[in-house]
Structure 1
Amino acid sequence: METSIHPNPAPASPYLVCPFKKGRPKKHIDVCRKCRKNRKCAIYQDYMQPGLFPGWR
């Protein structure tokens, strides 16, 4: 078993659930980068900049 010092390790797959699409499909991170709503998307922002305190929000 491998331990990580990072509090929020990146997901095993680079797919995120899109809250803006009907049915909330999983999208690849490259699609999220090109999306015009990526600055408003909390899921994308949490992936790009994981927080230091995961239970704070």
Structure 2
Amino acid sequence: MKKLIIFSICTVSAVLFYQNRYRVMNTVLGQPRIRQSFIHFFLKIPFIRNKFIQQAF
């Protein structure tokens, strides 16, 4: 019974997170330091960096 309750809570949490994913992402990336770290991390990936460079020029 305890596993069913935990599974239900996890499922409901996942659904709510999925429905509000853009709101959560905007809230998290609204913090300047986190946004800077996020961009810095993704620009280290060559495929993504090349896509950004191509679009910029």
Structure having the higher helix fraction is 2
Question: Common fold, TM-score beyond 0.5?
Answer: no
Q: Which has the larger radius of gyration?
A: 2
TM-score, structure 1 length as denominator? 0.24
* TM-score where L is the length of structure 2: 0.24
More strand by share: 1
